[in-house]
Amino acid sequence: MDHFEKQRRIFNITGILLLVSVVSLLAVIPSILKDTSPNSLPKQAAIATAVGMGVHLVLAIGLFIGARLARLKRRINSEINLVSVILLVIVGFIIMDGAFAFWDHVLFVSIGMFLAVLCDFTGVAVSVAALFILRRRKKPKPV
């Protein structure tokens, strides 16, 4: 397995982790809408969760397209990887805030959101490993 195939697999693994995160967030939306705790805003929380799912889907599609382009062009775009890492960290912290907000009222929602955050941060770790470990080493110039 050459360098390009390794990074393609890492792109695909990160994309699959994002899809697991989307499924986890999709599963908690009905419970968010049924929340009747005092001072809760279930519609706004469901909209925010749906926006988070949308960001995850866009990132997953970007990673899958990046993996496909790497296969066709035999060139790895590390910019796609870097942008996905930055966005995943930001979205992960936003979802973690929502998970702590539901911790006292609806435990299922909180666990589902923490699962999504776990998938996000695992995807970040895999992507950062791809950036540092699998970067192409320059060959010395012949004299």
For residue 35, name the pLDDT band (cuts at 50, 70, 90).
Answer: confident
The residues, ordered by sequence, that sit 6+ positions from 115 with a Cβ below 8 Å of its Cβ are 20, 21, 24
Q: What is the pTM of this model?
A: 0.81
User: Which sequence spans correspond to the domains of the chain?
Assistant: 3-33+56-132
For residue 76, name the pLDDT band (cuts at 50, 70, 90).
Answer: low
For residue 75, name the pLDDT band (cuts at 50, 70, 90).
Answer: low
For residue 20, name the pLDDT band (cuts at 50, 70, 90).
Answer: very high
Between residues 87 and 66, which one has the greater pLDDT? 87
